[in-house]
Structure 1
Amino acid sequence: MSVKPELVCPAGSLPALKQAIDHGADAVYMGLKDATNARNFAGLNFDVQSAKEGIRYAHAKGRKVLMAINTYAQAGEEKTWQRAVDTAASWGVDAVIMADMGLLDYAARTHPGLRRHLSVQGSATNYEAINFARDAFGIERAVLPRVLTIPQVEHVIQNTKVEIEVFGFGSLCVMVEGRCLLSSYATGESPNTAGVCSPAKAVRWQPGPDGLDARLSGILIDRYAPDENAGYPTLCKGRFNVNDETYYALEEPTSLNVMSVLPDLLRIGVSAIKVEGRQRSPAYVAEVTKTLRAAIDSAVTEGSRFHVKAPWQQALGKLSEGQQQTLGAYSRPWK
């Protein structure tokens, strides 16, 4: 088999970071408490004290810390993003994850020794884009958007020397990451700029005669019956009335789970498998990390004899959106 890929897990808080490290993550990714990262939710992310403690904790156990500075710098506020890069370098993180080309250029010029990864928000879906970022900004890894089949991922890997990281578990994105305009249409903000799909200030749950209404900036996103669990409203996963039928018109709430194709991902040579979910709880991070750690290790050891064990599937099934799982774009049977 190929070299074992790194398991890269989310750290939206210090407790989540420690759970990821304790349960087998090779690396964690985190962000600051501001708009420089694409999970800028209230109550999440790191200040100076928690970041330094998290980095110390991870490095003491021989693990890596990656810092996401993966939104796009806004005109007139470039120094906020540049300071984030300076901060990452001063704290001794193992890499920064960035999408903005101007910021990548700043990091390459100002901190040439700081390892640079191209974020999924950079929306690089072909090897030409990745090789351009390598030649121009010295990136050493690229995170692929969740829109490519396994043969397409393999084609990218075969045509670049840049390490390739793919998503392995967590919420899907119906858009090509880095190009989403839906949330900004509804709220004036987006993950590319403000760092969140659905800003908390725009979210409202309102009881009504027909159930619980979930609204985003006043727009009705979903209506939940009394016996339904109310999800956090995001525009792409709402239920809408189309031609007198109400359903998930854009995307159903479901989670990506690549355990069944791990041998294929190892065979084609992916360098890292990433878990989505910096907005999730430490308990979620612990369970997903532990399960994928066991599955990846087993895939490396067993090769073609690998099979997904029922307890792994059950563990991740309980943590999936809508209790549903999919291979997403990795499997396109109509092609």
Structure 2
Amino acid sequence: MDLVCPAGNFQSLKKAVDNGANAVYIGMKNATNARHFAGLNFSPKDISQGIKYAHNNKCNVYCAINTYPRQKNWKLWAQAVDQAMALGIDSLIVADCGVMDYIRQKSDSFPIHLSVQASATNLESLNFYHQNFGIRRAVLPRVLSLAQVTQLAQQSPVEIEVFGFGSLCIMAEGRCYLSSYLTGESPNTQGVCSPSSHVRWEEQDGVLQSRLNNLLIDQYEPHENAGYPTLCKGRFEVDGNVEYALEEPTSLNTMDILPELTAAGVAAVKIEGRQRSPAYIATVTDIWRRAMDAVQDKTASPTSADRHKLASLSEGRQTTIGAYERSWQ
């Protein structure tokens, strides 16, 4: 399996490449990608520099143009495709059918990877995208059980990529309306879940409060680690109890089921985290490179120290294998 790692800037790209990534995925400095944060992502100069560095080290570079264009801004998405292809990107990660069709108007064979934002969870969807747009790979949403992933991987006409580690979205990607409900801006169109312009931090009597569009999402005592405010992972008062109403912060970690994913025929494991630091990328890539090599070569697996390190880098300092462990389908 390939190890596909995130890069929010050139330094993160170098760390991923240096620590054993087979491919690195990036985004441009606009709303065409689903990690559109200030200070994040790549300029054309950065992309050229990153491609050169990665290719010199036998690593591919993918560009995520995986949000959904609105008609009035269509040119932005078209320009992003033109620019990425002209710069020599290895593949485009796309969710929108119109963007895929635009790519195919330019090239019959340019590699398209179906983004997780497309929410393709069944064989008929994969067949549709393959037959109509010639996709080569599909990234599955993080809502499928191991049995479902195995079944798809064995029947799919294209390669299957799954998320292996990082922040866990509890929704079916591409179908989340919570952010747009609260702020009017959606990660599916503007590329940001909890846009920074709507985030406020306030301290009252030593308690740190986080607000999203003036709605109190969570508050933290001095001894608690504060997380970035998202509506789905906020704490609310429900029937007199303050609790995580939807999902408590935790990270996905599929390291323990890597042999099963390998046996299923999964082509690539993806690490989430383009918004994370270069140091984070270096550590996670190194541990996962060794873990995947160990499965392939049947050598010693990562140490307990490695596992502890991954847990310490996780949301809420805890991990789960998420929907993979479901026994039902």
TM-score of the aligned structures, taking structure 2 as reference length: 0.98
Residue identity in the other structure for 2:91: A
Q: Percent identity?
A: 55
Residue identity in the other structure for 1:36: T
Structure 1 residue corresponding to 2:224, chosen from 224, 228, 238: 228
Indicate conservation of the 8 Å contact 1:291/1:315, yes or no: no
Indicate conservation of the 8 Å contact 2:91/2:111, yes or no: yes
Task: Tell me, yes or no, if structure 1 residue 321 matches structure 2 residue 324.
Answer: no
Indicate conservation of the 8 Å contact 2:145/2:327, yes or no: no
Task: Tell me, yes or no, if structure 1 residue 106 matches structure 2 residue 77.
Answer: no
**Where do residues 118-267 of structure 1 align in structure 2 (5 Å cutoff)?**
118-209=114-205, 211-267=207-263
Distance in 2 (CA, whole Å) between partners of 1:160 and 1:334 is 21
Distance in 2 (CA, whole Å) between partners of 1:119 and 1:169 is 17
Query: Match of 2:323, SS?
Result: helix
Indicate conservation of the 8 Å contact 1:140/1:162, yes or no: yes
Indicate conservation of the 8 Å contact 2:63/2:89, yes or no: yes
Query: Match of 2:245, SS?
Result: coil
Indicate conservation of the 8 Å contact 1:263/1:306, yes or no: no
Distance in 1 (CA, whole Å) between partners of 2:222 and 2:304 is 32
Residue identity in the other structure for 1:259: M
Distance in 1 (CA, whole Å) between partners of 2:3 and 2:247 is 27
Structure 1 position 112, deviation (Å): 2.4
Structure 1 position 75, deviation (Å): 1.5
Residue identity in the other structure for 2:225: N
Structure 1 position 311, deviation (Å): 2.2
Distance in 2 (CA, whole Å) between partners of 1:243 and 1:95 is 49
- Number of aligned residues: 329
Distance in 1 (CA, whole Å) between partners of 2:131 and 2:217 is 43
Larger mean CA deviation between 314-323 and 207-216 belongs to 207-216
Structure 1: which 5+ residue stretches go unaligned?
none
Query: Match of 2:252, SS?
Result: strand
Structure 1 position 312, deviation (Å): 2.0
Query: Match of 1:286, SS?
Result: helix
**Where do residues 53-72 of structure 1 align in structure 2 (5 Å cutoff)?**
53-72=49-68
Distance in 2 (CA, whole Å) between partners of 1:40 and 1:267 is 35
Query: Match of 1:113, SS?
Result: coil
Distance in 2 (CA, whole Å) between partners of 1:296 and 1:130 is 26
Indicate conservation of the 8 Å contact 1:167/1:275, yes or no: yes
Distance in 2 (CA, whole Å) between partners of 1:243 and 1:108 is 53
Larger mean CA deviation between 95-104 and 313-322 belongs to 313-322
Indicate conservation of the 8 Å contact 2:253/2:319, yes or no: yes
Indicate conservation of the 8 Å contact 2:27/2:65, yes or no: yes
Indicate conservation of the 8 Å contact 1:13/1:46, yes or no: yes
Indicate conservation of the 8 Å contact 2:104/2:133, yes or no: yes
Structure 2 residue corresponding to 1:44, chosen from 40, 43, 57: 40
Residue identity in the other structure for 1:311: A
**Where do residues 263-278 of structure 1 align in structure 2 (5 Å cutoff)?**
263-278=259-274
Structure 1 position 127, deviation (Å): 1.2
Task: Tell me, yes or no, if structure 1 residue 312 matches structure 2 residue 306.
Answer: yes
Distance in 1 (CA, whole Å) between partners of 2:263 and 2:209 is 46
Distance in 2 (CA, whole Å) between partners of 1:222 and 1:270 is 38
Distance in 1 (CA, whole Å) between partners of 2:122 and 2:226 is 37
Structure 1 position 146, deviation (Å): 0.2
Distance in 1 (CA, whole Å) between partners of 2:47 and 2:211 is 34
**Where do residues 285-296 of structure 1 align in structure 2 (5 Å cutoff)?**
285-296=281-292
CA RMSD, 1 decimal: 1.2
